Structure 1
Amino acid sequence: MMTKTIKISQETHDLLSELASKNDTFNDVITFLIDYYRENEEFLDKQAEAYNEDIENFEKGNLDNVSEITLSDLEKRISKLENELKK
């Protein structure tokens, strides 16, 4: 493995040290943070772009991709999502 040197502030160094367990290297911590970010990133850029486009269309009155849902169905969907998040 090729080693690279990066410059970080003392504050960042201290934060990385706090996140590291006894046997972790900074490389381990940074890799973990990158993996965590990728797994928990709410939207990919393309997804966010598509959602923003849908919102713009809706705001302009274009309702082609809009469907109606009853309050009861919405509550069921929310409950289902909450249960999935608890797993």
Structure 2
Amino acid sequence: MMTKTIKISEKTHKLLSELASKNETFNDVIAFLIDYYHENEEFSDKQAEAYNRDIEKFEKGDMENVSELTLSELEKRITKLENEIKK
């Protein structure tokens, strides 16, 4: 395995040290954090691209697949999403 040197601040070094167990290297911790980030991304790149295309269509006045919500319905959806995030 080829190794690389990276520069990190003292603060980051301390935080990585706190995250690592006795048997883990900084590489293990960083790999775990990267995997965790990818697993918990809000959207994949593909999903984000699709949402951005839909937003562009909407901004240009294309109302296909657009529906109206009452304020009450919107509040219920927001509450549901907030509860899912808390899990």
* TM-score of the aligned structures, taking structure 2 as reference length: 0.80
**Seq. identity, %:** 73
Q: How much has 1:58 moved relative to structure 2?
A: 0.6
Pairs within 5 Å for 1:16-31: 16-31=16-31
Q: Which moved more, 1:12-21 or 1:52-61?
A: 12-21
Q: Which moved more, 1:55-64 or 1:27-36?
A: 27-36
**Distance (whole Å) between structure 1 residues aligned to residue 66 and residue 28 of structure 2:** 45
How many residue pairs match? The answer is 85
> What CA deviation, in whole Å up to 9, does each residue of 1:32-52 have, x standing for no partner?
111111112122111111111
Q: How much has 1:73 moved relative to structure 2?
A: 0.8
**4+ residue segments displaced more than 4 Å:** none
Q: Which moved more, 1:23-32 or 1:63-72?
A: 23-32
**Distance (whole Å) between structure 1 residues aligned to residue 64 and residue 24 of structure 2:** 52
Gapped regions of structure 2 (runs ≥ 5): none
Partner of 1:71: 71
Partner of 1:6: 4
Pairs within 5 Å for 1:45-64: 45-64=45-64
Q: Which moved more, 1:7-16 or 1:48-57?
A: 7-16
Q: How much has 1:10 moved relative to structure 2?
A: 4.2
* TM-score of the aligned structures, taking structure 1 as reference length: 0.80
CA RMSD of aligned residues (A): 2.0
